[in-house]
Structures are given as C-alpha cells and as structure tokens.
Amino acid sequence: MADDSDVETPSECSMDNPNGSSYELAYQDDGPSCRKRMKLKDDKLCGVCGDKALGYNFNAITCESCKAFFRRNALKDKKVKCLFQGDCAIDVRTRRFCPYCRLKKCFDIGMKSDMILDDKERKARMEKVAENRIKRQVTQQHTIVKDEPIDPDFEASAVGSSNIYSPPTPSMEGPSSSDIPCSKSEYITFDKINVPVDSSDLPSDETMYRQLSENEQTLVTEVGIAYQTTVGSMHNSSAALQEDNYHSVNDLINHSEVAVRRLIKFVKRLEDFRRLSQEDQISSLKGAVLSTLLLRSASFYIVERDSWLTTKGEVSTVILKKATGFVELHDSHIKYCRALKTIMKNDFSLFGLALIIVIFNPDGPNVKDHQLLSDIQDKYLVLLKHYLESVFSFTYAKEYLVAITQKLNELKGISDGHAKVLLQVNPLEIEPLMLEVLNLK
C-alpha cells in the first residue's frame, strides 16, 4: 500500500466523497468541443497496472483484465513463485510477465478474494438467471395467441409438418384412426382395455359419432398445431442422439434442453395458460417437464421396430439403455411408449391435449391456485372426451378415454422414476436452464 490516496473502499467514496476532480478531468480532456463523449467517464486508473479502469472490482479500482486475472487466480493456491525478487513492477505492459507479483499487487491494493463467488454462490446466481429467463420467455409475448406461428423455428416447419409422419403412419388430424400395419387381431388389449385398432372396426353409423361444436373443433385443431410445431417437432439436436453421443445421463438431460424450450413455446400458445399467475405458470411448467419429455419420446416411438424416429432416421432404443444403465427404468419407459403410441398413434391433437392435461395439474408441486388449475384441466378433459367421441364413436370413446387417462396417471410414476435418477446427477455438469427447470438445485 504505497499510496493509500488512490484506493478507497466503495462505501467511503460513494457516500461522502463527491470527488469532483474526475468531472473536471473529463471535460478538460475533451475540451468544449467534446463530441457527446459517452457519460462523463472519469478516467479511473487500475490500481494494479495503471490501465484504464471502469470502477471497483473485488474492492479495488482495476481494469477489466486485472479483474479477470484476479478472479481466475486469487482462489487457487499457487506453487509458482516470482522468478526475481518478488517486487516486479506491474504496468499495462509488463503485467503479464509475472503472475506472482501481479497477484501480490492485487492483494496489496486491497482486492479481496472472498468477494469472488464460490461454487455455491455462483450456482445460486446462475439459477436466478435461468429462472428469470424462463419467466421472461413465458411472460413476454403480449402477442396474440396465433400470430407468432410464422416461424417457430424453421426446422419445425421444415421437418415437422411433412415427413414426421411418413414412416409408420401418415395422418394427423381428424380421424387419427390411421393404421398401424400391425395387427392380426382387431383389438389391441392391455390392462383390460380393449379398443379397436383398425378404423374399419369402428361403427359406420354417422350418428354414433359426436359432432364437435365449432369452438371445440377449432380448439382441438389449434392444440394439434401448437403441439406439432413445438413439442412434437423434431429438431436437429436429436441428430446428436445418433451414434454414441449419449454417454451419460448428463448428456441426456442437456440434450433435452431444446425440448424444454419447445414446451415453453407450446404453453405460450395457450390462452388458458395465461390465466395462471406467474408463479403458477412456472410451477406447472416445472412440474410438467419430465412428463413432456416422456410424452414426446412416446410420440417419436416406432412400435413396429422398437426405435425412435429422428431427423437422421431411426435409432434403436437400446442406445438409451446403454447410455443410462438404468435398465429397469428404461424398460418401463419403453413399455410406456409402446402403450401410449399404440393408443394415440400420430394424432398431434391427442398428444397436445394429453400434454395440456398434464400441465394443468391441480395437484402439481407448488401450485397455488388449485381451483383454477383444476377448472382448466376439466375443460380439456371434457374436450378430450368429446374429441374421442368424434373420432372413435360413442361406443369406444370411453375405452380410449380410460386408457389415455390411465396412461397419463402412470406418467407420474415414470417421471418420478426418472426424477430419482436425476438426483444422482452432478448439478455442476448440468446446464443452468435444465437445473432450474428440473429443480435440481
């Protein structure tokens, strides 16, 4: 501390020391002819090297580089010593010659290493940032429900609409009763539920089908499109799923980040979602993340070949088993996909409705307005029922409804299974957005 005159603590100078000199200097510098010099930038000098400084960093006025240098080095115990006498002069030119003396000078002028955020604080900070990001994404969109469709993200429109359906079944709206070439039997059965698998098994009598009201019809369609263009579309990163890009659960989680973004996009399109308070929006979103991923995986599941459909073709599900090593969980996951996909086929409206019902879960973690959530959920349950009646006839709708709701209930169990796995993951290796959204703090 050769000269204590130039270094003051932030508190000291901020309150009682106007220190007008800086202004004078600023003006003197540019003179009367000052071109709108940005601010009255006073020329502070770095206490370490004399370079230009913007303000305090870790309790001393320093330049950006010494700030970064200090942040990088102050906490690690060094074995490196000065090659000379330990009193090297440090200026903007020589500052990088001797890290030891530079760091020593940092401490000498009063920089405090305890102002560097530790792992815990840093993590907390990142979480806050991530949370705000989500909040912003969800909130910011005064735009109306459906005038942002232009684009979602071009891959969605490029890949999503057309070829997604190609392999197993081509169909999407309306009578999704398309047909999996499967089947020798007219009915598929699981868990005591019998539903016809082939459209030819459905009643031919028109009056056996519900006529959706106009509102219902548009809502169903919108939901289908919303799902298709967001969660239900494939994205390039699923190409990353190819080879053995998935070595660990971590990779799996991090690669799922795109899917989370899609989920946000999806809910942003729902006007009902906006009826929720901001907290409940976040809560219900978080609560639905894992389920979304599962639903999504089911929609890309190809029953006939036990594989996933990706932008790069099909990938056998065994690669996931290998990646995670959680065989048991994996098996139940696949079993789930099989069952769900068999019922829902490639009907985006169905997947969309299912997702909505999962999202508006009055029983979800941390939700405040259970009532509202429940009301909205009911609305979509009814819509789902009606939709099923319009597609599968009154005769079979009930079976489908039971089957689907049952599957949605199972979703919880499987999600929880995955959640347990997630708890074993090292938070430091996970992207902040996923950390936040999965509650892995």
Told to check if 133 binds DNA by CB under 7 A, we report yes
Minimum distance from residue 118 beta carbon to DNA (Å): 8
Q: How many helices (H) and strands (E) does the chain have?
A: 16, 9
How many Å from the N-terminal Cα to the C-terminal Cα in the chain? 42
Q: Dig out the tokens for 236 from the structure.
A: 């390039």
Note whether 113 binds DNA by CB under 7 A: no
Task: Please tell me whether residue 8 binds DNA under the rule CB under 7 A.
Answer: no
* 159 near DNA, judged by CB under 7 A: no
Residues 182 and 338 sit within 8 Å (Cβ to Cβ): no
Q: Name which of 51 and 251 has its Cβ closer to DNA.
A: 51
Residue 95 sits in the site that holds DNA (CB under 7 A): yes
Out of 26, 116, 319, 372, the residue judged to bind DNA by CB under 7 A? 116
Q: Applying CB under 7 A, does 109 fall inside the site for DNA?
A: no
Nearest distance in Å: CB 177, DNA: 46
Q: How far is the CB of 378 from DNA (least distance, A)?
A: 35
Q: Of 122, 92, 119, whose CA–CA distance to 105 is shortest?
A: 92
Instruction: Identify the residue among 37, 81, 128, 370 touching DNA (CB under 7 A).
Output: 128
Nearer of residues 60 and 219 to DNA, judged by Cβ: 60
Residue nearer to DNA on the CB measure, 90 or 234: 90
Contacting DNA (CB under 7 A), which of 34, 83, 89, 129?
129
Q: Which helix (H) or strand (E) holds 310?
A: strand 307-310
- Candidates 6, 12, 64, 244: give the one binding DNA (CB under 7 A): 64
26 scored as a contact of DNA (CB under 7 A): no
Determine, following the binding rule CB under 7 A, whether residue 250 of this chain makes contact with DNA.
no
Under the binding rule (CB under 7 A), the answer on residue 37 touching DNA is: no
Side chain identity at residue 343, one-letter code: I
* Residue 149 or 427 with smaller CB distance to DNA: 427
**Three-state SS at 193:** strand
Chain centroid to Cα 416, Å, comes to 18
Stretch that binds DNA, among 69-77, 225-233, 262-270, 407-415 (CB under 7 A): 69-77
Tell me the C-alpha distance between 160 and 126, whole Å: 33
Q: Is 43 in the site for DNA (CB under 7 A)?
A: no
Answer yes or no whether residue 316 interacts with DNA by CB under 7 A. no
Instruction: Identify the residue among 26, 30, 73, 159 touching DNA (CB under 7 A).
Output: 73
Q: To the nearest whole angstrom, how small is the minimum distance from the Cβ of residue 395 to DNA?
A: 53
Q: Which is nearer to DNA, 10 or 86 (CB)?
A: 10
Shortest CA distance to 288 belongs to which of 341, 366, 220? 366
- Is residue 212 within 8 A of residue 387, CB to CB? The reply is yes
Give the interface size with DNA as a residue count (CB under 7 A): 31
Residue 123: phi and psi, rounded to 5, are -65, -45
> Which residue, 118 or 191, has its beta carbon nearer to DNA?
118
**Distance (Å, whole) CA 215 – CA 236:** 35
Residue 309: CB minimum distance to DNA, A: 31
Distance from C-alpha of 336 to C-alpha of 222, rounded to nearest angstrom: 26
- Asked if 59 interacts with DNA (CB under 7 A), we say yes
81 sits near DNA (criterion: CB under 7 A): no
Specify whether the CB–CB gap between 145 and 92 falls below 8 A: no
According to the binding rule CB under 7 A, does residue 71 interact with DNA? yes
Q: How far is the CB of 122 from DNA (least distance, A)?
A: 5
Q: Smallest distance, Å, CB 366 to DNA?
A: 20
Cα 212 to Cα 218: distance, rounded to the nearest angstrom: 9
Minimum CB distance to DNA smaller for 23 or for 182: 23
- Tokens standing for residue 228: 């298709």
Say how far apart CA 65 and CA 404 lie, in whole Å.
59
Answer for which of 2, 20, 28, 39 binds DNA (CB under 7 A) is: 39
368 sits near DNA (criterion: CB under 7 A)? no
- Using the 8-state DSSP alphabet, how is residue 205 labeled? -
The span from the CA of 234 to the CA of 310, in Å, is 7
CA atoms within 13 A on the CB side of 172: 21
Cα–Cα distance measured from residue 186 to residue 377, given in angstroms and rounded to the nearest whole number: 33
Range list of β-strands (E), 14-65: 44-45, 52-53, 55-57, 60-62
Which residue ranges make up the site for DNA (CB under 7 A)? 10, 39, 51, 55-59, 63-69, 71-73, 95-96, 99, 115-117, 122, 125-126, 128-129, 132-133
